[in-house]
Amino acid sequence: MTAPSHVLSPRTAMKFRLPRFGLGGSPLGDLPGPDGDVTATVTIDAAYQAGIRFFDTAPRYGRGQSERRFGTALARRPRGEFLVSTKVGRLIDGTPDFSADGITRSLADSRERLGLDVDLVLLDEPGEHWQQAIEDAYPVLHELRRGHLIAAIGVAADDWRLLDRFVRDTEIDAVRLAGQYSLLDRSATPLLDRCEARGVVAIAAGVLGKEVLRIDQSKQTTDPTAILARRISAVCERYGVSLPQAALAFPGRHSAVGSVLIGAASQAEIRADAALVRQSVPAELWRDQELLGLLD
């Protein structure tokens, strides 16, 4: 089932642009209690001071806590300086509701928790509800965008094939892909190629997985992903580049990837990640024949 033909048109130029890096809000929603409120605020402040101007959240991140915390921390900042994305289709307890009324209520509730207008609204993990998301939920967002009540619309999922369906059959502006395009997994390349052709911006999340952050060359392992991470890390080290640094830089090398999300739950964590982002990766690394072979 595709979207009505009257909403489809050829697109080649990317019409919605995002900052190169953003802060993902899932870890901040999971911080417990009043201390979590304080930690979230200082973490968001540290991200802002590091130059991050894109903030991604959702109702189900901490049952609304992530949205509230972003709203509190960003209320002091000039609204024209940053972009905010949130999600619809999943309630704060994760229950799916992709009905037209559900989408309208969800966005209104998110705006209330944030206390901010939302720039980008994403359908949240449609999964088996993809058909209702296209037939009922997508038209609501399409009309909100056409009325300039939101700037852009898209879909968030961890299945690149599902996202590819929306890129092919609707006029979304963005996809948020959790995993499947990173140094260790490039299975979503066909999706990104379609995004490039359709003018859809891709947001890469989950690029700093445990294999990247917890690599230990001294331990024996038979896990193929861990072995690949070690081999890539060894190549990177020859160029003075750490594996996390390369992992943050890699997705943006595809022209469809407009932003890479960094997940952080503390001031120290976001500062460390921001420091990695500021370090340049030598162009020679990406031309290294051994690395190219590992990425093939």
pLDDT tens figures, 254-273: 999 999 999 999 999 999 99
Position 236 in a domain: no
What's residue 222's pLDDT? 83
Enter the pTM of the model.
0.92
**CATH assignment of the domain containing 10:** 3.20.20.100
* pLDDT mean over 265-294: 95
Reduced DSSP (H G I as helix, E B as strand, rest coil) percent helix, strand, coil of the chain, to 5: 50, 15, 35
Q: What is the per-residue pLDDT across 178-220, written as a single tens digit (0 to 9) for each?
A: 989 999 999 999 999 999 999 999 999 999 877 676 665 546 7
Instruction: List, in sequence order, every beta strand (DSSP E) within 18-147.
Output: 21-24, 54-56, 83-88, 120-124
What's residue 212's pLDDT? 77
CA distance 208 to 27: 13
Are the C-beta atoms of 267 and 213 separated by less than 8 Å? no
Whether the CA torsion 99, 105, 107, 110 is positive or negative: it is negative
Are the C-beta atoms of 55 and 110 separated by less than 8 Å? no
CA distance 40 to 29: 8
Count of the separate structural domains present in the chain = 1
Residue 109 in this model has a pLDDT that exceeds 50? yes
State the pLDDT confidence band at 16, using cuts at 50, 70 and 90: confident
Position 227 in a domain: no
Residue 3 in this model has a pLDDT that exceeds 50? no
Q: What is the per-residue pLDDT across 31-76, written as a single tens digit (0 to 9) for each?
A: 998 999 999 999 999 999 999 999 999 999 999 999 999 999 999 9
What's residue 214's pLDDT? 67
Amino acid at 139: P
State the pLDDT confidence band at 296, using cuts at 50, 70 and 90: confident
Q: What is the per-residue pLDDT across 218-257, written as a single tens digit (0 to 9) for each?
A: 467 788 888 999 999 999 999 999 999 999 999 999 999 9
* pLDDT mean over 6-26: 73
Position 233 in a domain: no
CA distance 54 to 295: 29
Position 164 in a domain: yes
CA distance 146 to 153: 10
Position 75 in a domain: yes
Position 218 in a domain: no
What's residue 13's pLDDT? 58
Q: Three-class SS of residue 291?
A: helix
Domain that holds residue 78: 5-210+243-283
Mean pLDDT lowest for which of 94-103, 111-120, 203-212?
Answer: 203-212
What's residue 97's pLDDT? 98
Position 238 in a domain: no
Position 237 in a domain: no
